[in-house]
Amino acid sequence: MERKHVLTIAGSDSGGGAGIQADLKVFSALGTYGMSVITAVTAQNTQGVTAIQEIDAHVVKSQLDAVFSDIRVDAVKIGMVSNHEIMGVIADSIKRNQPPHIVLDPVMIAKSGDALLQKGSIDTLQRVLLPIATLITPNLPEAEELLGYNITSIEEMRQAVRELAEKMNTQVLLKGGHLNGDAVDILSTGREFSHPRIDSPHTHGTGCSLSSAIAAYLALGEPIEKAIAKAKEYVFQAICHAFPIGDGHSPIHHFYHWDQGGKVYGGTST
């Protein structure tokens, strides 16, 4: 069977749990070939982000040109993009090369609470990048930033995801992990996806991994709702099988299905 190729455009996480590193692990775990365009280098571990160095926009463009000029791209995942100039370069490349699937995770804040998007770039994100995506995957704080109001219940999530989809003219998966109770994500089609909440500190990189898993499944030919369902199950199991690394929020276990000896946290999927 022909190998599918998935490109991640995101920041590098020196701790290996999120960003480019997590995305490439996901692509490999799900049987696709991963490529990367790095937008920023972060000094980061399980406890937080201590430094960010953005990559010059012309170098980002050169990376994009190098990939698209030589390798077929079956899907793209876009993660951390912190300034308007890089956003413009990415949007131009996407429009020019027309990859079939674009999953955009509007990364604004790290798990530790550190800001990953320049405040003045949020408007550019909404005008330039979000409308070109096949699917965007904001969590509640990101959706609140994009909409300008608080979201505190499942019913408010249902309204917010419809509003975001209409505003951005694209499909939206609103992630409800910041609410209490089961983890419920809502797609703008009305489909809801639920998993039991896992009592585990090992959740670093869940957002990055979910969006990259959706991109991989779309590349593999799954329709969007099935791609999301399979991606959520993959991330749920990766959290269940995670193990401690560092002194903060440890990453999920991207290759859990290859490691039968790891301790399992939480229950099984329903």
> What is the set of active-site residues?
175, 203, 205-208
Identify the helix (H) or strand (E) that includes residue 50: strand 49-54
Give the span between the Cα atoms of 99 and 115, in whole angstroms: 29
Quick one: CA dihedral 88, 91, 97, 102, positive or negative? positive
- Any residues with CB less than 8 A from the CB of 44 and at least 6 apart, and which? 13, 14, 15, 18, 19, 50, 110
Task: Give the chain's count of helices (H) and strands (E).
Answer: 8, 9
Instruction: Tell me the torsion sign for CA atoms 8, 9, 11, 12.
Output: positive
Query: Cβ contacts of residue 103 below 8 Å, gap of 6+?
Result: 75, 76, 77, 78, 133, 134, 135, 136, 137, 211, 212, 214, 215, 218
57 sits in which H/E element: helix 57-68
Q: For the CA atoms of 85, 117, 103, 143, what is the dihedral angle to 10 degrees?
A: -130
DSSP letters of 60-75? HHHHHHHHHTTS--SE
Distance CA 207, CA 106 (A): 10
